[in-house]
């Protein structure tokens, strides 16, 4: 059973850390009595991992310890399954150090089956598991018994979060209810917003302060964009978010905002959550007469989530605008997730061959060192040996970077800047793979890349196109999102605007192979989410500024407390919650665009 727990939860940890999904901040949804229902999972906040469909795990209203529901586990004697778990998580991405953990639950067994149902605590790395099972003595059968598991974190360890839940081991019939979580001696209490309806004063205030929008698509008139224009009037960088990477209306509105900021506010650069050299290649094509945009979008190494009709429309607009205007709109990338540095190394070699063929051998040596590192980077080799190879590669990149920084090779300033940028991406990629495992490393580097661009293009005004969580001004303990780093650097000149919805569908990859992209429905906004309150407004599409003094009023107090936000990764997330705690909305964004119903983007890869 421990092997099963390790495999499931460790794999979950790895996937989460590498995806676009953002983790739980500040608040926790324990839902230990299973009273909060969910249309996606067994109960709000809980996920199941089952080795066989023979197991039945469901809510039961007939056998309860407290409230209306308990969780029932059932498997008959003919079941081939050996184990199943349901789990929750605490502090999955916070930096708060934990000293003691105590999980308790009331469990009832119908049969005397050893270790039939118990509770567990597991470290985020999956290396440590602690379990406690219900007793099977006959006087205790069909009686609720309190089961507790405790762990005091060793002084040599550093726990910032953990998984906990129920483990069901053998064919049996059992129930669990009233799960309590204690961290450092204090019971983890759930937010009151999960149980409270917004009152009439809240909705009246909302209707008074929203600015209706006529459409998410480009319009010939801009009157409805005036409030957004006022918010962005003095901005040098505007971040525009999206709740998923596959929401049609969010992508449409981003194009509308780009068109508005370019034509009315003097913006000239769009910074996409994409690898930098890939965007540079597309930018060159966007300034030609026949760019074959769709073909290049499919052929170039863009993230597969961007290979959509909506992104084709964005690039087509930029191309048409640039062909008819002297002042061009520039497309740039901000990301360093360049797989094996392929795009960056390719562009470096291309530039060196053109301007200094004698130095091509330096990038070729870097290629060889990287190939060796990739081959040797496996459990069969000692960590110090892998680290030595990484150090050698890093030294070679820095050596080439030092040479490039002091020589222009007769290239223009923009070409020299791009060459510097590609080398920076190589170092950033290497750093996040072999040196820096901090949860905010990618966000930090994306912000740093925007800052680096702005330093070399001081007159540019930039629209940053990324996920809501990336553009947010969120600092959780010592972890910061891209928007928080941008706020540190640009101060009031950075304006983040979120986009969200209350119901609809989105496009995502069916699994991590990313071979199949499909439309999936997301759960309709429920009590305890910001979207649930937004959905009470009289308008279906509107903008709400969040940097207004009126937010201090009690009528707007719901915007100043943590509630869940629609936040879905580009990989379909199974029965995980579509809404997550990503900070207090009024503190992490300067404004939000709400669209009541949204639809899935049109992926060119949907037929694969």
End-to-end CA distance of the chain: 37
Convert 298-307 to b/e letters by CB count within 10 Å (16 or more is b).
Answer: eebebbbbbb
Is residue 517 within 8 A of residue 606, CB to CB? The reply is: yes
Residue 409 pLDDT class (50, 70, 90 cuts): confident
| Interacting residues of 143 by C-beta distance below 8 A, sequence separation 6+ | 108
Length of the chain: 608
Return the structure tokens found at 206: 């909302």
pLDDT in tens, 306-328: 999 999 999 999 999 999 999 99
Residue 62 pLDDT class (50, 70, 90 cuts): very high
The fraction of the chain above a pLDDT of 70, given in percent, is 91
**Stretch among 78-92, 203-217, 273-287, 380-394 having the lowest mean pLDDT:** 78-92
Q: Are β-strands 330-335 and 269-275 bridged in parallel, bridged antiparallel, or unpaired? A: parallel
Residue 256 pLDDT class (50, 70, 90 cuts): very high
Is residue 79 within 8 A of residue 171, CB to CB? The reply is: yes
Radius of gyration of the chain (CA): 26
pLDDT in tens, 487-516: 999 999 999 999 999 999 999 999 889 999
Packed helices 342-355 and 413-434: angle between N→C axes, nearest 10 degrees: 150
| Interacting residues of 264 by C-beta distance below 8 A, sequence separation 6+ | 222, 225, 229
pTM of the model: 0.88
Instruction: Indicate whether 93 pLDDT > 60.
Output: no
Partner residues linked to 175 by β-bridges? 72, 108
**183 compared with 136, residue with greater pLDDT:** 183
**Stretch among 379-383, 396-400, 490-494 having the lowest mean pLDDT:** 379-383
**Stretch among 271-275, 463-467, 553-557, 567-571 having the lowest mean pLDDT:** 553-557
pLDDT at 81: 57
Return the structure tokens found at 133: 């099972």
Packed helices 276-285 and 342-355: angle between N→C axes, nearest 10 degrees: 60
Mean pLDDT, rounded, for 194-216: 94
Instruction: Indicate whether 570 pLDDT > 80.
Output: yes
Residue 52 pLDDT class (50, 70, 90 cuts): low
Return the structure tokens found at 414: 């923009």
pLDDT in tens, 106-135: 999 988 777 788 999 998 877 889 999 988
Packed helices 383-406 and 360-376: angle between N→C axes, nearest 10 degrees: 160
pLDDT at 7: 47
pLDDT in tens, 129-164: 999 998 888 778 889 999 999 999 988 888 888 999
Determine the Cα–Cα distance for residues 229 and 541; give it in Å rounded to an integer. Answer: 17
Q: Are β-strands 494-509 and 517-522 bridged in parallel, bridged antiparallel, or unpaired? A: antiparallel
**Stretch among 3-17, 138-152, 395-409, 470-484 having the lowest mean pLDDT:** 3-17
Residue 83 pLDDT class (50, 70, 90 cuts): confident
pLDDT at 190: 84
The average confidence (pLDDT) of the chain is: 89
Mean pLDDT, rounded, for 43-67: 84
pLDDT at 169: 79
What values do phi and psi take at 35, rounded to 5? -85, -20
Q: By three-state DSSP, how is residue 63 classified?
A: coil
Residue 11 pLDDT class (50, 70, 90 cuts): very low
- Considering only CA atoms, which of 252, 296, 302 is closest in space to residue 274? 302
Determine the Cα–Cα distance for residues 580 and 21; give it in Å rounded to an integer. Answer: 9
Mean pLDDT, rounded, for 248-261: 98
Q: Are β-strands 541-545 and 330-335 bridged in parallel, bridged antiparallel, or unpaired? A: unpaired
Residue 477 pLDDT class (50, 70, 90 cuts): low
- Considering only CA atoms, which of 283, 424, 400, 272 is closest in space to residue 341? 424
**64 compared with 11, residue with greater pLDDT:** 64
Which uninterrupted H or E stretch holds 61? none
Q: By three-state DSSP, how is residue 108 classified?
A: strand
- Considering only CA atoms, which of 537, 547, 487 is closest in space to residue 227? 547
Between the alpha carbon of residue 261 and those of residues 412, 449, 566, the distances in Å are 28, 22, 26
Instruction: Indicate whether 53 pLDDT > 80.
Output: no
- Considering only CA atoms, which of 331, 348, 326 is closest in space to residue 411? 348
């Amino acid at each position: 059973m421990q092997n099963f727990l390790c495999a499931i939860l460790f794999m979950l940890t790895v996937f989460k850390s590498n995806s676009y999904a953002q983790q739980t901040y500040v608040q926790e949804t324990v839902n230990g009595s299973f009273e909060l229902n969910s249309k996606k999972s067994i109960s709000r906040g809980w996920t199941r991992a089952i080795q066989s469909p023979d197991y039945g795990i469901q809510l039961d209203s007939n056998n309860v310890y407290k409230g209306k529901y308990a969780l029932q586990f059932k498997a008959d004697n003919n079941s081939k399954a050996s184990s199943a778990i349901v789990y929750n998580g605490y502090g999955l991405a916070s930096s708060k150090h934990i000293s003691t953990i105590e999980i308790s639950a009331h469990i009832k067994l119908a049969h005397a089956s050893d270790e039939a149902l118990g509770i567990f605590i597991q470290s985020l790395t999956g290396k440590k598991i602690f379990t406690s099972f219900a007793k099977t003595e006959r006087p205790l059968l069909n009686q609720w018994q309190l089961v507790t598991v405790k762990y005091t974190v060793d002084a040599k360890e550093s726990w910032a979060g953990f998984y906990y839940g129920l483990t069901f081991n053998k064919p049996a019939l059992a129930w669990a209810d009233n799960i309590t979580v204690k961290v450092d001696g204090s019971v983890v209490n759930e937010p009151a917003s999960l149980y409270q309806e917004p009152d009439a004063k809240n909705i009246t205030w909302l209707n008074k302060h929203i600015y209706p929008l006529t459409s998410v698509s480009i319009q010939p008139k801009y009157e409805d964009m005036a409030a957004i224009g006022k918010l962005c009037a003095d901005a040098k960088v505007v971040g525009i978010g999206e709740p998923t990477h596959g929401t049609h209306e969010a992508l449409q509105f981003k194009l509308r905002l780009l068109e508005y900021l370019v034509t009315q506010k003097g913006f000239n650069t769009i910074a996409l959550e994409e690898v930098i050299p890939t965007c540079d290649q597309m930018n060159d094509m966007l300034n030609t007469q026949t760019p074959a945009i769709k073909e290049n979008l499919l052929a170039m190494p863009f993230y597969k989530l961007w290979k959509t009709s909506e992104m084709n429309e964005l690039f087509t607009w930029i191309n048409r605008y640039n062909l008819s205007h002297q002042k061009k709109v520039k497309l740039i990338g901000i990301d360093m997730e360049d797989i094996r540095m392929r795009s960056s190394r390719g562009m470096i070699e291309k530039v060196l061959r053109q301007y200094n063929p004698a130095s091509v051998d330096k990038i070729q040596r870097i290629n060889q060192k990287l190939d060796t590192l990739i081959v040797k980077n496996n459990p069969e080799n000692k960590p110090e040996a892998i680290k030595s190879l990484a150090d050698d590669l890093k030294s070679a990149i820095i050596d080439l970077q030092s040479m490039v920084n002091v020589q222009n090779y007769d290239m223009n300033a923009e070409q020299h800047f791009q060459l510097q940028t590609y080398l920076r991406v190589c170092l950033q990629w290497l750093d996040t793979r072999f040196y820096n495992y901090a949860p905010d490393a990618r966000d930090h580097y994306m912000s740093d890349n925007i800052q680096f661009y702005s330093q070399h293009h001081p007159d540019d005004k930039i629209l940053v196109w990324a996920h809501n969580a990336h553009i947010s001004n969120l600092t959780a303990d010592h972890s910061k999102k891209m928007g928080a780093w941008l706020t540190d650097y640009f101060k009031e000149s950075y304006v983040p605007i979120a986009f969200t919805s209350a119901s609809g569908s989105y496009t995502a990859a069916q699994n991590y192979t990313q071979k199949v992209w499909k439309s999936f429905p997301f759960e309709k906004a429920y009590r305890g989410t910001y979207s649930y309150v937004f959905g009470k407004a009289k308008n279906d599409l509107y903008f709400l500024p969040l940097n207004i003094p009126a937010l201090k009023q009690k009528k707007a107090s719901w915007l100043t407390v943590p509630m869940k936000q629609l936040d879905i990764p580009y990989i379909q997330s199974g029965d995980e919650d579509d809404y997550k705690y990503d900070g207090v909305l009024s503190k992490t964004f300067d404004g939000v665009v709400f669209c009541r119903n949204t639809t899935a983007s049109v992926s060119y890869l949907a037929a694969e």
